[in-house]
Structure 1
Amino acid sequence: MKRALLLCTLLALPAAAFAKDGAWSDTAAGGSVSIGKQLLRGRPLHSPSEIPASARIVRFSWRVTLLSPPPPGLQIKLCRSDKCFLLPALAGTRSVTVPLSAVGEFRFIYSVNSLGQLQPPLNVVRNQLTVNYR
């Protein structure tokens, strides 16, 4: 009787109660842009292969290191093949409220909304991404 009661109790718990939380982090070197209105696609950042395919992003943190101060009009996006997030600063944390897989390739995309030569050029030293998932 006690076993049956325990089994019923466990079956009544939501599946999320058994979900495993985790995080992964990756870093890549950047690149440079010397003329405004050009796009710089950062090197891909990949999730480790052992993350379950069912893992969904809860939040992510980023840090971008530049060689010089950011030029006026700099826009940074973090993109996957199916979604991009506009990042408001060189570093921060953002919660994700839409279902988005924690598995796959991510890229930082840079653009400078100005015309002509950038003085100094935009030189991205490093991109760092940490993904928290459930």
Structure 2
Amino acid sequence: MMRRLLLLSLVISPLALASDGSWSSQSFGGMMTRGQQVVKSQPVHPTSALPAGAIAKQLTWKISPDGPTPMGFMIKVCGGNRCLPLSGLSGEMPLPVSFPAGGPLRFEYYSSVRGNLSPPLTLLSNQVTVEYRLRK
């Protein structure tokens, strides 16, 4: 009986020590005037520092352009030295543990179209929510 209680406490302890949190932010995305060039957004970051030990868990995003996106339009979200491709203008995805939970994050936009974009594409806003967990 004592052995079962000890085993149960070992299983429950890590769960009891973990907690969750999230932060949301938005920024201006930028303007694309030409294809085949990377446009970087203004950074997004939490309004205050995250607690020590925050580990990235989930990203939810919504990008608002002023019109239709050009052919071959691609989006990445970047944090630290790492960029991850996004599947569209909005969605959610799990984040790898090595991705910085506290940002800053930026978006990178690219279109495979050659030459000038007519009309230019303005990316009005990047909205993100980053969910994280804490280990104490």
Q: Which of the five TM-score ranges fits, normalised by the shorter chain?
A: 0.7 to 0.9
Quote the offset at 1:81 in angstroms: 1.9
CA distance in structure 2 between the aligned counterparts of 1:86 and 1:100, rounded to whole angstroms: 13
Q: Percent identity?
A: 36
Q: 1:32 touches 1:123 (CA, 8 Å); kept in 2?
A: yes
Report SS of the residue matched to 2:110.
strand
Q: 2:65 touches 2:121 (CA, 8 Å); kept in 1?
A: yes
Quote the offset at 1:47 in angstroms: 2.4
Report the aligned-residue RMSD. 2.0
Q: Which runs of 4+ in 1 moved over 6 A?
A: 8-11
TM-score by length of 1: 0.85
Aligned to 2:118: 119
Gaps of 5+ in 1: 1-5
CA distance in structure 2 between the aligned counterparts of 1:68 and 1:82, rounded to whole angstroms: 30
Q: Which amino acid aligns with 2:86?
A: L
TM-score by length of 2: 0.84
Aligned length: 128
Quote the offset at 1:104 in angstroms: 2.5
CA distance in structure 2 between the aligned counterparts of 1:82 and 1:48, rounded to whole angstroms: 21
Gaps of 5+ in 2: none
Aligned to 1:63: 62
Q: 2:76 touches 2:83 (CA, 8 Å); kept in 1?
A: yes
